[in-house]
Amino acid sequence: MRLRHIAAIAALSIFSIVCGAKAHAQTAIYAQATGQSNDLTSGDGYFWGPTFGIYQDRHSLALVHLGYDIRGSILKNGSAQFSSGLGGIRASVVPHVIPIKIYAEGLVGVGIVSNGSSSTNFQYQINGGVEYTLLPHIDWRALEVAYNGYSGNTGGNPVALSTGIVFRLF
């Protein structure tokens, strides 16, 4: 009899932890305008274009949220193009007393550089940014800074700046 009570309490505790984590999950889609330094081709200037993706903050502990982000970019500079697909972990801090969210991400994936010929290589990206809540489910991604590592690049590590809009779904 006692073993049943312990098993029931353990099952109820696990159920509440699992359901509680899902109840606090925050899913959002975003689109942003990105400008990235041209350290990937012999051209001058910057790559420009959209970055879009989806993130989900899965776990919360007080002000800190942990989750993942999946994103893609299509950036152009004249006839040159840089496209990427990345995914990885995300951590954010939401102070709740002011309507901002500060986040950092570590992402990995592939980057494709096209400039007459095309090369696909491993890419990593370290991001940090600030989002400002405009409406209950809409945030302005005021600034995101991204540091890129690209295995096929010998010219340096491109840095990107972005701004955009975030739609929090639930």
Specify if 116 maps to a domain: yes
The answer on pLDDT for 13 being more than 60 is no
Specify if 11 maps to a domain: no
- Tokens encoding 72: 């893609």
Specify if 71 maps to a domain: yes
For 57-112, the pLDDT digits (tens) are 988 888 899 999 999 999 998 888 999 999 999 999 998 889 999 999 999 999 99
Strands (E), the chain: 26-37, 46-61, 64-77, 80-93, 100-115, 117-135, 138-150, 159-168
Q: Which amino acid is at 85?
A: G
Angle at Cα 165 formed by Cα 161 and Cα 170, nearest 5°? 130
Residue 22: what pLDDT?
A: 45
* DSSP code, position 153: -
Specify if 146 maps to a domain: yes
Distance of CA 82 to the CA centre of its chain: 18
Specify if 15 maps to a domain: no
Specify if 96 maps to a domain: yes
Specify if 2 maps to a domain: no
- Tokens encoding 150: 């690209």
Rounded CA separation 69/123 (Å): 15
pTM for the model stands at: 0.81
Q: How many domains does the chain have?
A: 1
CATH number of the domain to which 36 belongs: 2.40.160.20
The answer on pLDDT for 20 being more than 50 is no
Q: By residue range, what is the domain housing residue 135?
A: 25-168
Specify if 14 maps to a domain: no
Q: For 10, phi and psi rounded to 5 degrees?
A: -65, -45
